[in-house]
Structure 1
Amino acid sequence: MVERTYSDDEQNIVILVYATPDGGRYFRKERALTSFTDVRDTTAAVDARPENLGTVDDPDERERYATEAARMREAHDPEDLV
């Protein structure tokens, strides 16, 4: 996981972004939180099908994703909860 944000335009939407180690491709996952007791695990990594990956065109964003992916890899196993 390289980014976790909360949607500005919709209430209770969490946006998770996972990226490939080189930062060149990403997988976006959106979660609607339905209550304060709505608990769903978020892992450090996910397996995503290649056809579900987007391309990161911005070089600065690609570098940021690669840096964060490396940091997460060093700190967590893929199945660790974050």
Structure 2
Amino acid sequence: MPRLWLVEREYDDRNLISFVYATTDGTKQLRKELSATLLQQRSEPITAAIEVDEDELAPVDPDQQERYATEAQSVAESNEPDEPI
């Protein structure tokens, strides 16, 4: 299973928080959306990294790949995978 690192967190006006995890080469991603209310009620924290099946991953837009790779590598170097972030 590939390990992905948190590269982006966005808030919107519908009270949703989007988390984007990407591979360190910036080519694959997984986007999760959670409501702020659900996020507060979760017993599991959002961590620096996750491991998911390859078939759950989506390709990253080529315009975003370098940025995602840089951010994923930075997060990987400064955090343990299971560290809350």
Question: Which TM-score tier does this pair reach, normalised by the shorter chain?
Answer: 0.7 to 0.9
Aligned counterparts, 1:1-80, within 5 A: 1-8=6-13, 11-34=14-37, 38-40=40-42, 41-58=45-62, 60-80=63-83
Q: Which has the higher strand share?
A: 2
Instruction: Tell me the CA shift for residue 39 of structure 1.
Output: 4.4
Structure 1 unmatched ranges of 5 or more:
none
Code of the residue aligned with 2:72 in structure 1: it is A
Q: Which runs of 5+ in 2 are unaligned?
A: 1-5
Q: Give the letter for the 1:25 counterpart.
A: K
> Secondary structure of 1:2's partner?
strand
Cα distance in structure 2, aligned partners of 1:44 and 1:62: 19
Give TM-score scaled by structure 2 length: 0.83
Larger Rg: 1
Please tell me the residue identity of whatever aligns with 1:7: D
Q: What value does the CA root-mean-square deviation take over the aligned residues?
A: 1.7
